């Protein structure tokens, strides 16, 4: 019986030993699996970018209405200093925009399309119209209440490489933010970032209007100075820029040079671009080029204006002289209200109008929403 009990005890010891080894093996396996899962999580996190603790604020989704405070934005159209405007610039740069300056300066942010090279030299490209102005144009606009301008248009490089170099040198000296043109693509496509009333605002600018033979020499690349463009594959750089700032920006504005000259309803290309930009995250899309006041309105949750018309311009006859200022009240991504403020170009400068003429302009602005696929 003693021998039997000894054999039983030995068998029990062996069994307990095997069980202990199994437990250890299972524990080691669990550690390896857990460590593998942790590596997988770290790998997935690395693929997705740095964690919120190490990454910039671009990972933080801000509230739809941002700081909750409303900001007023004012937009106007094509501006240059040709003809009589040049003599006014030379004579009275600080006061030439006096008739419209209160409307511009009364907004928290005002923007126009500066449709000219800023140069006194250079050689004009062989095209139908070439515009240029001295650097004092920047100061005249700034004093008038303009906060930022775009030069991404079909006249920003009118005076060749030398004129472009002058423009970029003047841009570097002015306190007025100048968008859509740069020494390379990074600068040309870079948005202007600003904070107003706690709202983080980003403004982009680009041109969709370039003659085919100008696309290559005029478009900014990693190795070439030029303009921000939406022609061909270049639009992808603009869309990527919008997506890149969406998470840490309350209001994204895109100012485009687009459309067909003389048209009062948007082209299919304009509507295509609007959809691409809204899908990328733009809240407000405005633009010019057609030399006609078109219309603006709701595009889903965004706001689009397809054509702001001329603003300060040498051609003021008939429809070319119909102008105005688009005023938006914006809280974060929400456009709370908008208003078209009618004006007429007289002596190259916009002058506000009132009464029946203003009511007629507003009615025409609203009536064109149907052909633009926009809602009030």
- H runs (alpha helix) in 174-234: 185-189, 212-218
Task: Give the closest residue to 353 by CA, choosing from 369, 365, 338, 342.
Answer: 342
pLDDT, one tens digit per residue, over 155-206 is 999 999 999 999 999 999 999 999 999 999 999 999 999 999 999 999 999 9
pLDDT, one tens digit per residue, over 259-311 is 999 999 999 999 999 999 999 999 999 999 999 999 999 999 999 999 999 99
Task: Give the closest residue to 111 by CA, choosing from 74, 144, 161.
Answer: 74
| Residue-level pLDDT at 50 | 29
Q: How far apart are CA 128 and CA 294, in angstroms?
A: 24
Task: Give the closest residue to 301 by CA, choosing from 236, 371, 258, 252.
Answer: 252
Q: How far is CA 93 from CA 41, 103, 136, 138, in A?
A: 61, 18, 7, 9
| Residue-level pLDDT at 273 | 98
Instruction: Return mean pLDDT, the chain.
Output: 88
The values of phi and psi at residue 6, to 5°, are -65, -45
For 92, the token pair is: 């009275």
Q: How many CA atoms lie within 13 A of 201 on its CB side?
A: 24
pLDDT band at 60 (very low <50, low <70, confident <90, very high): low
Say which residue the tokens 């460590």 belong to.
35
Q: What is the pTM of this model?
A: 0.84
Q: How far apart are CA 104 and CA 308, in angstroms?
A: 14
Q: How far apart are CA 281 and CA 76, in angstroms?
A: 22
Task: Give the closest residue to 179 by CA, choosing from 145, 209, 208, 207.
Answer: 207
pLDDT, one tens digit per residue, over 228-257 is 999 999 999 999 999 999 999 999 999 999
| Residue-level pLDDT at 359 | 98
Task: Give the closest residue to 186 by CA, choosing from 269, 244, 126.
Answer: 244
| Residue-level pLDDT at 205 | 99
pLDDT, one tens digit per residue, over 200-229 is 999 999 999 999 999 999 999 999 999 999
For 119, the token pair is: 């140069």
- H runs (alpha helix) in the chain: 2-48, 84-91, 101-105, 136-143, 160-173, 185-189, 212-218, 235-246, 268-280, 355-367, 369-372
pLDDT band at 123 (very low <50, low <70, confident <90, very high): very high
Exposure string (b/e) for 162-175, b if CB count within 10 Å is 16 or more? ebbbbbbebbeebe
Percent of the chain with pLDDT over 90: 84
Decide: 263 and 290 in contact? Cβ < 8 Å: yes
């Amino acid at each position: 019986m003693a021998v039997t009990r000894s054999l039983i005890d030995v068998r029990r010891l062996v069994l307990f030993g095997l069980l202990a080894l199994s437990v250890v093996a299972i524990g080691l396996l669990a550690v390896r699996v857990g460590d593998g899962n942790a590596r997988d999580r770290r790998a997935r996190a690395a693929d997705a970018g740095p964690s919120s603790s190490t990454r910039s604020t671009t990972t933080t989704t801000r509230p739809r209405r941002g700081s909750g405070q409303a900001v007023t934005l004012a937009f106007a159209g094509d501006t240059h200093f040709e003809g009589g405007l040049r003599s006014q610039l030379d004579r009275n740069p600080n006061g030439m925009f006096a008739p419209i300056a209160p409307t511009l300066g009364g907004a928290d942010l005002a923007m126009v399309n500066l449709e000219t090279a800023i140069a006194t030299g250079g050689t004009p490209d062989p095209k139908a119209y070439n515009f240029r102005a001295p650097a004092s144009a920047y100061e005249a606009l700034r004093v008038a209440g303009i906060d930022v301008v775009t030069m991404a248009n079909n006249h920003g490089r009118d005076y060749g490489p030398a004129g472009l170099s002058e423009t970029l040198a003047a841009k570097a000296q002015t306190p007025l933010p100048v968008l859509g043109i740069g020494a390379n693509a990074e600068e040309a496509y870079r948005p202007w970032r600003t904070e107003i009333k706690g709202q983080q605002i980003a403004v982009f600018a680009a041109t969709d209007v370039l003659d085919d033979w100008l696309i290559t020499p005029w478009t900014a690349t990693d190795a070439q100075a030029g303009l921000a463009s939406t022609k061909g594959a270049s639009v992808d750089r603009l869309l990527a820029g919008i997506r890149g700032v969406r998470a840490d920006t309350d209001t994204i504005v895109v100012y485009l040079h687009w459309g067909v000259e003389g048209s009062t309803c948007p082209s299919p290309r304009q509507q295509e671009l609007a959809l691409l930009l809204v899908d990328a995250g733009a809240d407000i899309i405005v633009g010019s080029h057609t030399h006609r006041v078109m219309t603006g309105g709701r595009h889903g949750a965004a706001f689009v204006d397809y054509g702001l018309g001329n603003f300060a311009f040498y051609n003021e006859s008939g429809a070319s002289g119909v102008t105005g200022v688009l005023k938006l009240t914006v809280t974060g991504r929400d456009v709370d209200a908008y208003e078209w403020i009618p004006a007429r170009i007289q002596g190259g400068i916009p002058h506000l109008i009132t009464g029946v003429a203003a009511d007629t302009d507003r009615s025409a602005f609203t009536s064109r929403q149907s052909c633009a696929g926009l809602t009030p």
